Amino acid sequence: MKAAIYCRLSEEDRNKPSETDDSGSIQNQKAMLLQYAMEQGWELFDIYSDDDYTGADRRRPEFNRLLRDAEQHRFDIVLCKTQSRFTRELELVEKYIHGLFPLWGIRFVSIVDNADTDNRGNKKSRQINGLVNEWYLEDMSENIRSVLTNRRKNGFHIGAFALYGYKKDPDRKGHLLIDEEAAAVVREVFSLFAGGYGKTAIARMLNDRGVPNPTEYKRLHGMRYRSPGSGTGTLWSYSAIADMLENEMYIGNMVQGRYGSVSYKTKQNRPRPRSQWYVVEGTHEPVVDRELWDRVQALLARRTRPFKGGTIGLFAGKAKCACCGYTLRSSVSGGRRYLQCPTRHMSADACPGAFISVDRLEGMVLDELNRLAEEYLDREELERSTELRSGYEEEKKRLLARQNACRKKAAEYTRWIQSLYLDKAKGLISERDYVEMAERFAAERLRLERAADDCGEKLSRMEQRAAEDGRSGPTEPCACLEHLTREAVDVLIDHVAVGRRVRGTRDVPVEIYWNF
């Protein structure tokens, strides 16, 4: 009988001579298991050892190598110190120990808790062990979460790595210090943007000078950084500049909790609404002074609407390049609007990226949405929702148009009153004419402002009624099956991944990630 030994430790042993050495606990596990295998007369096939991995981590490299070898029946027995060393998840206990291992002809044995799949009498004991281990994971997750939440609320930095422009304080845990070399680049980015340079132009300037982007900078300086091996190497990008210009950390505020884990069983994180962030002001020295920050934020506020007329693109922020993950940017050619990967503008060696017309992408999304609606939605309810929503949208557009027109006209009256005063000061009109016309203009301006406020109140009441009627729920945008609206895209779609056109065809691979 060939035995495969599996060992695991969830935390690194601080007394290890070097990172490549096994921790003391792992060595003890190996010695115990080797002795047991020898006493049983089993031949050792291999030792699989995961150091510094939790029992809920399904990405353990040696654990997955063990499973691949077990499926090929390269050994007969899996030997562990305890069942929890193999896994703390009840789901994996049932899947492998009680499910696939018997099918593959593999026996599972753990020494301390006497788990042995050859002993049918202790199956319930193994299941109870799995349940207890599952509870342990959940309790530990809650305890860790509460500790981290408390530290976030008190303004302590708890991230694995510091934001570009800062470094961790070696003398104060949870405190950040300015990294002057990187901070100089951050200040330059803010100054260039305040001086009128666009985000793409700034990225190109930095790339032309050979300035490493934040990930590459940290790698070169031996610092910890996110997602090693991902992204576009040393290149700065539009999104990197955009994220930097909006990050409050650079004015001394600690901002954490922007992303939260889906579950303690997975490493996946999802964006959280700003109301759930932890923001503590004045926790560290600012890289950017407040005056420059305010100027940049004012410029960003004026540039947030990419199209003429103040409208937001249908897929703005939703369409991403399937090759490099960057958000696609909008462009116009021949009167048609297109989406393309911005990284091809960063450098000649950058990702060739995706390219698709907005009309075509809208058609592809609508086709899939129609298919889902036809398959899953009640047609009568859909038609009723369409009628209700159509009337709501038309009235909403009418009120918004009137509100904007009133505000625009009121602003004109303000300018006319100012011009009148200048004319009076220059002696072009008499004091009597000035007073008469100014009073008339002021009265008309007041009427328009009240009309605009009245439209705003009507819009608020409409939105409240729509919410009560269920017209603004997550399924109502499905009623608009002939065309998409920005509201429907926001509610229905998390993001759309657009790939490169298949060579020799007009086919562009598109993958839609829905919110339902």
DSSP for 462-479 reads HHHHHHHHTTTSTTGGGG
Question: Average pLDDT for residues 88-109, to the nearest whole number?
Answer: 87
pLDDT exceeds cutoff 80 at 187: yes
H or E segment at 123?
Answer: helix 123-153
Say which residue the tokens 């399937």 belong to: 322
Mark whether 298 and 333 lie in a shared domain.
no
**In terms of domains, do 161 and 84 share one?**
no
Torsion angle of C-alpha atoms 454, 457, 463, 468, degrees rounded to 10: -120
**Domain encompassing residue 186:** 154-302
CA-based nearest residue to 359, from 397, 390, 313: 313
| Residue 68 confidence (pLDDT) | 93
State the pLDDT confidence band at 506, using cuts at 50, 70 and 90: confident
In this structure, are 132 and 193 located in the same domain? no
Residues 362-404 pLDDT 10s: 888 888 888 887 776 655 555 555 556 656 677 777 788 888 8
As a whole number of angstroms, the distance between CA 363 and CA 484 comes to: 9
Which residue, among 238, 186, 187, has the nearest Cα to 217 in the 3D structure? 186
Phi, psi of 494 (to 5 degrees): -75, -55
Same domain, 357 and 483: yes
- Same-domain check for residues 288 and 370: no
User: Based on the domain organization, do 507 and 433 belong to the same domain?
Assistant: no
State whether 339 and 388 are in the same domain.
no
Annotate 122-135 with b (16+ C-beta within 10 A) or e (fewer): beeebeebbeebbe
Report the CATH number at residue 282. Answer: 3.90.1750.20
Q: Which helix (H) or strand (E) holds 455?
A: helix 431-469
Count the domains in the chain: 4
Diameter of the chain by CA atoms?
Answer: 115
Q: State both tokens at 198.
A: 């666009």
pLDDT at 127: 63
Mean per-residue pLDDT over the chain, rounded: 78
pLDDT at 110 over 60: yes
Contact of 161 with 223, CB cutoff 8 Å: yes
Is the same domain home to 102 and 144? Answer: yes
Q: How confident is the model at residue 449 (pLDDT cuts 50, 70, 90)?
A: confident
Residues 279, 205, single domain; the answer is yes
146 and 273 within one domain: no
User: Counting beta carbons within 10 angstroms of the beta carbon of residue 356, is it exposed (0 to 12), middle (13 to 18) or buried (19 or more)?
Assistant: buried
Which of 244, 272, 302 is the C-terminal boundary of a domain? 302
Q: Show which of 102, 124, 151 is a domain's final residue.
A: 151
Same domain, 465 and 418: yes
Q: What is the CATH number of the domain that holds 80?
A: 3.40.50.1390
Please give the share of the chain, as a percent, with pLDDT higher than 70.
76
Residues 251 and 365 in one domain: no
Q: How far apart (Å, rounded) are the C-alpha atoms in residues 330 and 354?
A: 12
Exposure class string for 54-82: b at 16+ Cβ within 10 A, else e:
bbbbeebebbeebbebbeeeebbbbbbbb
Distances (CA, A) of 515 to 125, 414, 475: 40, 46, 10
Last residue of a domain, one of 98, 133, 151: 151
Q: Does the pLDDT value for residue 483 go beyond 90?
A: no
